[in-house]
Chain A
Amino acid sequence: MSNVILEVTDLTTKYITRFREDVYAVDHVSLQVEEGKSLGIAGESGCGKSTLALSLMGYYFPPLHYTCGEIIIDGRNISGMDPDDVRKSILGTEISYIPQSAMNALNPTQKIIHFIEDVIQAHDPYQTKKEIYDLARGCFETLGLPAEVLQKYPVELSGGMKQRTVIAVSVILFPQVLIADEPSSALDVTTQKMVIKMLKNLMEEGFIKSMIFITHELPLLYNVTDDIMVMYAGQIVEKASAKEAVFDPLHPYSKGLMGSIIVPESGLRDVKLTAIAGVPPNLKDPPVGCRFAGRCKYVRAECLVTSVPLYDAGPGRAYRCILPEEILREAHKHDR
């Protein structure tokens, strides 16, 4: 029985715009991450992936506001905590976050080692510079980064190196959960592979216990994570193991996402890329029924009026569609 590190129940967060409108970017999301497992979150731009990542940290600042739900990390409920307490006692030690543009996350006027000193001293002001240097050096060397990087300024590093430095800094306090938000989207394939290898190493070396990986590149998710969660318009539309999500998707939206995969393998040219027509709904006033109804091929009259719950489909599997599994599978089969 593996123990659950992060448990989120019915988390709802909203943005309040300057016109006092509520935008529910994360809407009743529940998820569990077990020790030694990684969870992938997929979805197109603007579906709430990054907002979910920010919400999971419990660190809210306007315009993002906490509405309801529970976040339990390692037996500790952090939902509704004061942001200052969260920053001091949760961020870095319990949850760590690699932002989307990690390349720009480093301070251009500081050497990497000074940046690390700031991070560590914020949590433990009594550590000496020598101790910190030794810790940082050990950490960098285990992760396969040369120790000279510590004495350099960010401008002296290449893109891939900066990205890996940011990853190393984010795990220096041994967090329980690491949230990686599109860590490789601006890198070329070889550098991307290095970054991914490093992320996978983190878990084996015992730096982190579990990982949440956010990206829109499905082939990448398939190779990195154990489970995949597909988000659409702030809601989870499908939860499955990586293999099931890629080869046997149930929800029409997940199926549409699979249609956008491009990999250099024979047979690709015979398949026509299928784009999902239309755009996601405006979350200022989301549709009453299924949120995907406007773009769905199999839309029915009742989709437009009743909201759809997450149906259970076997262990670790759930999807949000009123059609039964068999009908969906049959429909997808004729699709290609």
Chain B
Amino acid sequence: MIDEKDSCLSGKDLTKVFGFGRQKTVAVDHVDFDFHEGEVISIVGQSGSGKTTLAKMLLGLIKPTEGEVYFQGKKRDISTQKKRKEYWKNIQAIFQDPYSSYNIFNKIDTVLLDCIHMRGGRKLPRAKKVELMVEACSFVNLKFEELTNKYPFELSGGQQQRLMIARIFLLKPKILLADEPTSMIDACSRATILDMLMQLRSDIGMTIIFITHDMGLAYYVSDTVYIMEGGKFVESGSADEVILHPKEAYTQRLISDVPKIYEEWDLSTV
């Protein structure tokens, strides 16, 4: 399965255990998966089901206790800082809390310039760099002239999240890992952010992995949905299959817990 050609990111027996002895917590429990290139994948689960731990392992921020991650069919090698940086050119993330995702000492120009440098644009003339930054900002409906010499914390939450997408636009990674990108944002800005991500996906053909607890969002954006419970994938398949015709009891319960508008919301089942 792993040596398939279009496999983008896959994992085999991926496990993460925190603590030891009586305090042992198995956050992610021997999961196997295979994400294909250009797909939109959602990993859905309750709080504490191990979604974020899995995301951190995929990003290489924490080391798996067991198992391996394969990137484009080859074993991922991030043993040195140089190799890790090389890996991060291919996989990037958007986190839940935009307020704590930026280095507070860096101005917005620096944030965006770093992305250009990371793509090997260090030697470009200044005018070209500015042109790239203006392009990225206009993609996310921000005005670059208004952002220069500002710090990220001077922007609102929605604007910060959009700036994050501008970064992704400059970096053009192969995989984007979005860890609850819209849960801190109100429902109206959510549609804008999702549209931008989908636009970006069709422009540069990246794989997007959404991590969310919002079933509606998962259904709306993704091709494949994985349902996670207690560190394991309990159900996976196409979005229509999993969300409209769930087989597992756990999935059915999750779906019945979402407030509905076209049918009765049953409160008695909690």
Contact = CB atoms under 8 A, between A and B. Distances in A.
Given A190-B253, A190-B270, A268-B220, A217 B187 contact: yes
A269 B220 contact: yes
A196 B260 contact: no
Interface in A247-271: 256-257, 259-266, 268-269
Interface residues of A, number: 40
Chain B's interface size range is: 35 or more
A268 B191 contact: no
Contact of B215 (A189, A218, A246, A260): A189
Contacts of B218: 264
Interface string A77-96: 00000000000000000000
Given A189-B257, A273-B220, A196 B188 contact: no
A44 B187 CA distance: 7
Interface residues of B, dominant DSSP: helix
B47 A188 contact: yes
Contacts of B139: none
A219 B185 CA distance: 16
A268 B194 contact: no
Interface stretch (B54-62, B85-93, B261-269): B261-269
A261 B216 CA distance: 9
B195 A246 contact: no
Interface in A171-197: 186-194, 196-197
B187 A192 contact: no
A85 B203 CA distance: 61
A60 interface: no
Nearest to A193: B257
A264 B255 contact: yes
Contact of A260 (B183, B187, B213): B187
A274 interface: yes
B46 interface: yes
B224 to A, nearest CB: 14
A119 interface: no
Nearest to B267: A197
Contact of B188 (A44, A188, A222, A223): A44
Interface of B: 46-47, 156-158, 183, 185-192, 194-195, 213-220, 239, 243-244, 253-255, 257-263, 265, 267, 270
Interface of A: 44-46, 159, 186-194, 196-197, 200, 216-220, 222-223, 246, 256-257, 259-266, 268-269, 273-276
6 contacts: A189-B213, A223-B265, A263-B261, A264-B255, A274-B191, A275-B195
